[in-house]
Amino acid sequence: MSNFTIPVGPLHVALEEPMYFRIDVHGETVNNVTINAGHVHRGIEYLITKRNVFQNVVLTERICSLCSNSHPQAYSMAIEQIAGIKVPPRAEYLRAIADEIKRVASHLFNVGVLAHLVGFESLFMHVMEVRERMQDVKESIFGNRMDIGANTIGGVRYDIDPERIGYLRAQLDALVPDVEEIIDLYHTDNSILRRTRGIGVLSHADALDCGVVGPVARAAGVNYDVRVKAPYAAYDRLEVPVHVLHDGDVWSRAMIRLMEARTAIDLIRQCLDALPDGPTVATAERPAIPPGEAIAKCEAPRGELIYYVRMTDSPKPERVKWRVPSFLNWDALGIMLKQAKVSDIAIIVNSIDPCISCTER
Amino acid sequence: MSIMPNDIEARLLEAAPAGIQYRATTDDKSVVTAWCTLSSADNLLPVGRRLKDMGARLSTITVFQPKAPPAPPKPKEGDPPPPPVTFFGGIVSDGKGYEIHYHFDIDGDTLTVTAHVGTGGSIDSLTPLYRAADWPEREAMELYSLVVRNHPNPQRLFIDSGIEGAVFERLIPYSTLVNSAASKSIWEKIMAQTGAPS
């Protein structure tokens, strides 16, 4: 058997966004992977220091579309810490609702794409159709299907009245049997199992060594979820089960996402049950932001998202740095792809739910 | 509930004998955010080792050049010039030095270890200790002139090797930023290299 180098990307049918992989193979087996990034580097970390604190809420939402709610949320949390702003309880619950709605849609999207890569097109279309219900929810409640504009400094920019609560509950009720059916299918269907069990394994030790986060970590036995370990918004008042599996393969990562989508529905219901009355934002005025620095973390669909913000006496931040979950998970991809078959490359890459716009900023 | 050890300050000081400044806050959800500034950047590796032993995870690294403080009023004739403003540890705050934050996660709590490096300075790589430092250090090296010593793979990460480094330290004209995509100059560049079609 001969050795070859296969270029995958930067523009490739199996990649949602541009990334270039140089894959050295021996016959059909992957020997080594070199990742060449930077194709959608937009210099947003520079741009953010040229806009004022409030404009940046809008800018951070545009870093990525699938976790677009997590960026302005973590950014706002950091600014609120610096300014000593206390977010009203109703806004904390509404933030958690927005977070979980995005999580359901994001996880179902990834699991749907897995079915597509496995070649199970009817399942792909079914999962995307089920996910469409959450897209409708976003459009009805927030007025947008991806960038939902839910967050502002000091609270949220949306509210839900009893009529919309009723609509949301009805959508969730309709979604539950569909999601449970999909979970059952991914548990038992041989087309899925044959292509995902034992594929792209990341061991527990490697997961800790790479410092991976989110479903990639939890599928390898790492019990870490920001919503539990460092609660924010209303999560300290919610029952948040953390799903952990131990095989670290593609299937485990998909199952973690499916179970978390199911849990997210319960979390939205918990929020609706306990939603307190009161204002949705700390102050109607734009608050003055004093000099200072802060760290904020939240659990984006792909895992821990961390923001560092430094303010001086200017209305523009001196530095904003954020690290998205995918940024750490790329490194683990090299381990997952070692000794993999060429035909599994796309499935393994998709299994870390990579977000390239987020990674490169 | 916080799991940050009570004696964390003493442990850090033991690993950084040159001195530290330490502060910590706990929010109303009991999450601890701690900040530790090193007097000497040379103490970074021992501190990193100590935190690794405690099971800390490196979340990310922030590098930036803090703005210089406003110039002091001119001294009266005969008076000595005022001493330069410095960071903790003595590095002069001239707007060109680097402030480097290493954000560690200790099971939900965050500890940020800060080191200062002067213009043209360098700092040890944490990558041999923490794999998660690899990409952030490579990114820091392409955004700034900062040198990271003993990095196992000091290649460019996002910025193409054909582009001059330290992109955060200089103004880049828009036409350069977009690779002349907004004008005909890229076409002229290609034609100059390959020749016009016959």
| B143: chain A residues, CB-CB within 8 Å | 45
pLDDT value, residue A320? 95
Give the whole-angstrom CA distance, residue B110 versus residue B107.
Answer: 8
Averaged over A168-175, what is the pLDDT?
A: 95
pLDDT value, residue A19? 83
Give the whole-angstrom CA distance, residue B59 versus residue B130.
Answer: 10
- Give the one of B58, B103, B107 whose C-beta lies nearest to A229's C-beta: B107
Of the candidate ranges A184-193, A315-324, B52-61, B176-185, the one whose mean pLDDT is the lowest: B176-185
Establish if B99 belongs to a structural domain. yes
Averaged over B76-100, what is the pLDDT?
A: 84
Establish if B118 belongs to a structural domain. yes
pLDDT value, residue B68? 85
ipTM of the complex: 0.90
Give the whole-angstrom CA distance, residue B88 versus residue B68.
Answer: 14
Indicate which CATH number applies to the domain containing B50.
3.30.460
Mean per-residue pLDDT of chain B = 86
Query: Cβ atoms within 10 A of the Cβ of A11, count?
Result: 10
pLDDT value, residue B35? 95
Q: Render pLDDT for A130-163 as a digit per residue (tens, 0 to 9).
A: 999 999 999 999 988 888 889 999 999 999 999 9
Query: Cβ atoms within 10 A of the Cβ of A185, count?
Result: 17
Averaged over B48-73, what is the pLDDT?
A: 90
Averaged over A204-227, what is the pLDDT?
A: 94
Is the sign of the CA dihedral A217, A220, A222, A228 positive or negative? positive
Establish if B108 belongs to a structural domain. yes
Distance from CA of A126 to the nearest CA of B (A): 37
Q: Do B131 and A209 touch (CB under 8 A)?
A: yes
Averaged over A17-41, what is the pLDDT?
A: 85
For residue B60, what is the nearest residue in chain A, using CA coordinates? A323
Buried b (16+ CB within 10 A) or exposed e, A288-300: ebeeebbbbbbbb
pLDDT value, residue B177? 65
Residue A135 and residue A109 in contact, taking contact as beta carbons nearer than 8 Å: no
Residue A257 and residue A353 in contact, taking contact as beta carbons nearer than 8 Å: yes
| B130: chain A residues, CB-CB within 8 Å | 211
Q: Best mutation site among A227, A308, A358 for testing chain B: the one with the most B CBs within 10 Å?
A: A308
Helix A89-118 / helix A121-142 crossing angle, nearest 10 deg: 160
Residue A295 pairs with which residues in a beta bridge? A308
Q: Residue A357: pLDDT above 60?
A: yes
Q: Residue A356: pLDDT above 90?
A: no
- Give the one of B108, B160, B168 whose C-beta lies nearest to A38's C-beta: B160
pLDDT band at B181 (very low <50, low <70, confident <90, very high): low
CA distances A36 to A218, B114, B161, Å, are: 27, 30, 11
pLDDT value, residue A279? 94
Give the whole-angstrom CA distance, residue A173 versus residue A253.
Answer: 25
- Of all residues in chain A, what percent carry a pLDDT higher than 70? 99
For residue A318, what is the nearest residue in chain B, using CA coordinates? B66
Surface-to-core class of residue B129, CB atoms within 10 Å of its CB (0-12 exposed, 13-18 middle, 19+ buried)? middle
Q: Which domains does chain A have, with CATH numbers?
A: 42-336 (1.10.645.10)
- Of all residues in chain A, what percent carry a pLDDT higher than 90? 68
Q: Do B158 and A210 touch (CB under 8 A)?
A: no
Give the whole-angstrom CA distance, residue A305 versus residue A327.
Answer: 10
Q: Residue B1: pLDDT above 50?
A: no
Q: Residue B86: pLDDT above 80?
A: yes
Establish if B173 belongs to a structural domain. no
Higher pLDDT, B36 or B93: B36
Q: Kindly state the tokens that stand for A94.
A: 């509404």
Mean per-residue pLDDT of chain A = 91
Split into its structural domains, chain B has a count of 1
| A37: chain B residues, CB-CB within 8 Å | 157-158
Before B154, cis peptide (omega within 30)? no
Three-state DSSP class for B113? strand
Of the candidate ranges A27-41, B23-37, B173-187, the one whose mean pLDDT is the lowest: B173-187
Where does chain A show beta strands of DSSP type E?
A: 3-8, 20-26, 29-36, 151-152, 155-156, 292-300, 303-311, 319-323
Q: Residue B198: pLDDT above 60?
A: yes
Q: Render pLDDT for B108-120 as a digit per residue (tens, 0 to 9).
A: 999 999 999 988 8
The answer to whether A51 contacts chain B (CB < 8 Å) is no
Distance from CA of A111 to the nearest CA of B (A): 26
CA distances A162 to A89, A159, A169, A272, Å, are: 18, 10, 10, 10
Q: Do A306 and B59 touch (CB under 8 A)?
A: yes
Query: Cβ atoms within 10 A of the Cβ of B10, count?
Result: 11
| A231: chain B residues, CB-CB within 8 Å | 29, 31
Q: Render pLDDT for B4-49 as a digit per residue (tens, 0 to 9).
A: 777 888 889 898 888 899 999 998 898 999 999 998 999 999 999 9
Give the whole-angstrom CA distance, residue A168 versus residue A269.
Answer: 9
- Give the one of A38, A232, A318 whose C-beta lies nearest to B67's C-beta: A318
Residue A33 and residue B151 in contact, taking contact as beta carbons nearer than 8 Å: no
Residue A306 pairs with which residues in a beta bridge? A297, A323
Give the whole-angstrom CA distance, residue B137 versus residue B115.
Answer: 14
Distance from CA of B29 to the nearest CA of A (A): 7
Range of the domain at B123: 8-132
pLDDT value, residue B182? 60
Q: Kindly state the tokens that stand for A79.
A: 């600014």
Averaged over B151-163, what is the pLDDT?
A: 86
Establish if B107 belongs to a structural domain. yes
The residue whose two tokens read 């004739």 is B77
Of the candidate ranges A40-49, A129-138, A246-255, the one whose mean pLDDT is the lowest: A40-49
Establish if B97 belongs to a structural domain. yes
- Give the one of B27, B60, B108 whose C-beta lies nearest to A323's C-beta: B60
Q: Best mutation site among B2, B59, B63, B103 for testing chain A: the one with the most A CBs within 10 Å?
A: B59
Residue A272 and residue A165 in contact, taking contact as beta carbons nearer than 8 Å: yes
Give the whole-angstrom CA distance, residue A113 versus residue B95.
Answer: 48
Establish if B71 belongs to a structural domain. yes
The residue whose two tokens read 């955060």 is B168
Q: Which of B153, B95, B91 is nearest to B122 (CA)?
A: B91
Establish if B80 belongs to a structural domain. yes
Q: Residue B180: pLDDT above 60?
A: no
